Structure 1
């Protein structure tokens, strides 16, 4: 066994609230930062999930609030998703059939390469390597499912 946890329904797996811990390293300067917060995957009207991440980003000792929103739309099969930015632009595909997926996203002259690994029913990880003339970063994010039932109950309502 590879150590990865296969996912047959990616949207069902991701649905809910996850605790997030991220490390950010600039591979050129050696500068480091962290992000801590939550990611909530809420049902979208018409299918898919709205991904909203919020928390605190600390870069070189300076803390500031940070958030982002993505849309995870149904893919060609239940194990696949089409990930888009909040404004609808394509970000990357996601196929967790094997419990592991590599995705690329070109951004201007930089390339974002993400590795997604599912560890078990309640833990997954992403590692993004960002390289190019403007950036040389390593971002490692660990997700752990929460047991916050009050907020999870809200996630059953579709949002637009």
Structure 2
């Protein structure tokens, strides 16, 4: 039986810097790529966290720079988050109070189904299954907390 670590306050848990390792698998043809980089969750004015991810994405043997920015805002319930794209559009909810959360994000005709799990104080994972007429993907991302500078 897999056990998950409950997180009473997702924003407090995520704050800081994380190493990121992602595997992207195209289930239609078996092609696989990887992303390696970092994610920093820094305070936003007015509450919440700014999520900035940057690194290199390797696909079909070619590595290119890749980055994304999200906003993790306080959710409707204490300890949860409302995740938004950088431009403010809704992405998904996030509630790790049980240590595990499943959520959906419709994108055109495709559906993104995400599962978030917390292993311990310094490790968590996301698994996104993307299905629809345009995509058939599996994205597995492992996050490991980076030691504070000077530690």
TM range (shorter): over 0.9
* Partner residue, 2:145: 145
- State the match for 1:156 in structure 2: none
Does residue 115 in structure 1 map to residue 115 in structure 2?
yes
**What whole-Å deviation, never above 9, does each CA across 1:137-160 have from its counterpart, x for those lacking one?**
00000000001326xxxxxxxxxx
1:43 alignment counterpart: 43
Measure the CA separation in 1 of the matches of 2:53 and 2:139: 15
> Where in structure 1 are there 5+ consecutive unaligned residues?
151-160
Q: Does the 8 A contact of 1:10 with 1:78 survive in 2? A: no
Is contact 1:11–1:78 with CA below 8 Å preserved after alignment? no
The residue correspondences of 1:1-160 to structure 2 (distance < 5 A) are: 2-149=2-149
Q: How many residues align?
A: 150
Q: Equivalents in 2 of 1:7, 1:149: separation in Å?
A: 24
- Matched residues in 1 for 2:148 and 2:59: separation? 28
Question: Gaps spanning 5+ residues in structure 2: where?
Answer: none
* TM-score, normalised via structure 1 length: 0.91
Aligned CA-pair RMSD: 1.1
Q: Report how far residue 79 of structure 1 moved.
A: 2.1
The structural deviation recorded for 1:2 is 4.9
Once the two structures are TM-superposed, the CA of residue 31 in structure 1 deviates from its matched residue by: 0.5
* 3-state secondary structure, aligned to 1:149: coil
* TM, length-normalised to structure 2: 0.97
